[in-house]
Amino acid sequence: MSENLSHLLGRKGINKNLFEELGIAASEKGTPDIAVMEKLRQDFLVGKSTVTGTVSFYDFLKPENKGKKVYVCNGSVCMIKGTQKGLHKKLEKHYKAKEIGEMCCLGRCHENSSFHIDGTNYSGKDINNIAKIKKKKQATLEKYKVGSKGAGILTAEYGPIKEYYKIFTSILGKDASTLLSELKDSGVRGRGGAGFSMAFKLESCKNEVSDSKFIVCNADEGDPGAYSDRYVMEQRPHSLLMGMMIAGYIGGADCGVVYIRGEYPESVDIISECIKELHKEKLLGKNINGSGFNFDFKVIKAQGAYICGEETALLSSIEGQRPEVRVRPPYPTQKGLFNKPTVVNNVETLANLPFIFKNGGKTFAAIGTARSTGTKLVSLDGYFKNPGIYEVDMGTPLSVVIDKLGGGFIKPVKAMHIGGPLGGLVPVQKIKDLTVDFDSFAKEGFLLGHASVVCIPKDFPIVKYIEHLFKFTAHESCGKCFPCRLGSTRGSEMMEKAQSDKTYKIDINLMNDLLETLEIGSLCALGGGLPLPIKNAMKYFEKELSVYFKK
């Protein structure tokens, strides 16, 4: 990270940032004109390499995106379901081939056949109405189940906004240290994958001395198969926004940045409208309720890059830099966005705060397990009889989620990829051994992560899925470290060659060396986490994979 560049890019403040300006410049043609890029470069006093490096990285900014009018989802679930080739053919009747691009993933994993047109997502049977959709006379028919078993914190209705925000106004004027103690009592851990203590981050930020600080919501839910954050933003948006406001008060931040993936246009619109509503209620701005606390929001629409789910890459992205992972220390709570103390948490984590400060940290801690407190949202894909979003107390048997809430599988399944591309590949025979919490999954050699569930049916080759994971990582790598950038590419090449060339067998020692290099040599969890599902596959599906490896 260049400290000078971060400082320079922050001189205009968050409301006039290079990243957003580039997105605006690309909105008409799919990529910014060179003349506009030059003007922005001069306006922000940065070099051509900075602007060109940023534009060339993102799926929805780079020159290859020019002229695209419709995008087809290429996420894991849609890929396994096999719906997208037929979808593509139907779209070709209405669009030229060069006008059709790809997005990953649209969060429509519950019904597949997903595509995007003019700032709106569609899926399921929507393609049958493509003529009306092109004329903007047909909305999406999307619908998925939402349920809970246990406390039901995030799936509960929160009622009228004025009444709900009394939770926030009641803490204004209270000592931040006292509120921090309440948060510590709750034991809430990050729901984005790492399971890191939220209170620790906020305390670290609170202890820093700075003229400004940020609370950043990582709403770049890029894990194929996951759509729980989308559910919160679109159906429980004020839980997220109030959670950020409370976090801002405790940490001493005056600005909340909601970084929402471009693949979720409806989420961007809903969150933006809710912020306007809060302004009307005079719950944002200067000296809120006469408390002396200042706080406001900025919504940033991302431009298509999975790596921005990594917190330091996300911060570089907002600044307008190429979203490369930063070396730590310093940590974001010390030097984050524009070199200011910054707390980064994901949607689900922040949305828990209103419950905690209404009912008390110990009440939250009484839900779930000792080390995994509270509840967890789980995303079930279209291979379940009841696909949708379900909230369960931490510690709930996985079998309850699969069989009772999800209703079981619609066809025989041999494995579930839980927790995103970097999560564990769980064979169905291990369902009985797992409970929905961080420790249970870690103990069995898996990762709960985002708790998204991608099913792999019995007739889908595991080798093909491994190849898909390597390719996904190669495409989404920021490129900063060699193990991730090169290792994922070599892995993809080996898996592809083993399937196409019957004379070629993968050297098992070479594969193990590659996975070890990725695991210990990568700067972040993208390269470092990729080996987990592949090791799971090699362990539990050794017989199926044996034909592709040297004995």
71-92, pLDDT tens digit by residue?
A: 999 999 999 999 999 999 999 9
Contact status, residue 257 vs residue 10, Cβ threshold 8 Å:
no
Q: How far apart are CA 302 and CA 290, in angstroms?
A: 34
Establish whether domains 154-365 and 375-455 are of one fold. no
**Nearest Cα residue to 389 out of 377, 375, 374:** 377
Contact status, residue 495 vs residue 466, Cβ threshold 8 Å:
yes
Contact status, residue 384 vs residue 455, Cβ threshold 8 Å:
yes
- Predicted local distance difference test score (pLDDT) of residue 2: 67
Q: How far apart are CA 280 and CA 241, in angstroms?
A: 15
CA atoms within 13 A on the CB side of 332: 21
- Predicted local distance difference test score (pLDDT) of residue 194: 72
- Predicted local distance difference test score (pLDDT) of residue 31: 96
Q: Could you tell me which residues come within 8 angstroms of residue 270 by beta carbon, excluding any fewer than 6 positions away?
A: 233, 234, 237
Q: Helix or strand or coil: residue 481?
A: coil
Q: Which fold has domain 375-455?
A: Ubiquitin-like (UB roll) (3.10.20)
**Nearest Cα residue to 347 out of 393, 404, 309, 302:** 309
Q: From residue 403, how far is each of 384, 386, 449, 496, 549 by CA, in Å?
A: 9, 10, 21, 35, 35
Q: In what order do the strands lie in the sheet with 342-346?
A: 296-301, 255-260, 214-219, 342-346
Q: How far apart are CA 118 and CA 36, in angstroms?
A: 23
Q: Helix or strand or coil: residue 437?
A: coil
**CATH architecture of structural domain 154-365:** 3-Layer(aba) Sandwich (3.40)
Q: Helix or strand or coil: residue 133?
A: helix
What pairs with residue 415 in β-bridges?
427, 456
277-286, pLDDT tens digit by residue?
A: 999 999 999 9
Ranges of residues in the chain whose predicted pLDDT is under 70 = 1-2
Q: How far apart are CA 135 and CA 137, in angstroms?
A: 5
Question: Does the bond joining 73 to the residue before it have cis omega, within 30 degrees of 0?
Answer: no
Contact status, residue 359 vs residue 374, Cβ threshold 8 Å:
no
Contact status, residue 398 vs residue 442, Cβ threshold 8 Å:
no
Please report how the helices 311-319 and 18-26 are oriented relative to each other, as an axis angle in degrees rounded to 10: 70
- Predicted local distance difference test score (pLDDT) of residue 195: 80
Tell me phi and psi for residue 520, to 5 degrees.
Answer: -100, -15
Contact status, residue 462 vs residue 415, Cβ threshold 8 Å:
yes
What pairs with residue 453 in β-bridges?
380, 418
Q: In what order do the strands lie in the sheet with 375-380?
A: 145-149, 388-393, 375-380, 452-457, 413-418, 424-427
CATH numeric code, 462-548: 1.20.1440.230
* 197 token code pair: 């203590």
Contact status, residue 14 vs residue 336, Cβ threshold 8 Å:
no
> pTM of the full predicted structure?
0.96
Q: How far apart are CA 486 and CA 548, in angstroms?
A: 21
DSSP per-residue codes, 37-99: HHHHHHHHT--HHHHHHHHTTSTTTSGGGTT--EEEE--HHHHHHT-HHHHHHHHHTTS-GGG
For the chain, give the number of residues: 551
Q: How far apart are CA 290 and CA 298, in angstroms?
A: 22
Q: How far apart are CA 40 and CA 34, in angstroms?
A: 10
Q: From residue 245, how far is each of 254, 275, 353, 403 by CA, in Å?
A: 9, 11, 10, 38
Provide the 8-state DSSP code for 288: G
* 285 token code pair: 């701005």
Q: What does the domain layout of the chain look like in residue ranges? A: 3-65, 70-143, 154-365, 375-455, 462-548
Mark 382-399 as b/e (b = at least 16 C-beta within 10 Å): bbbebbbbbbbbbbbbbe
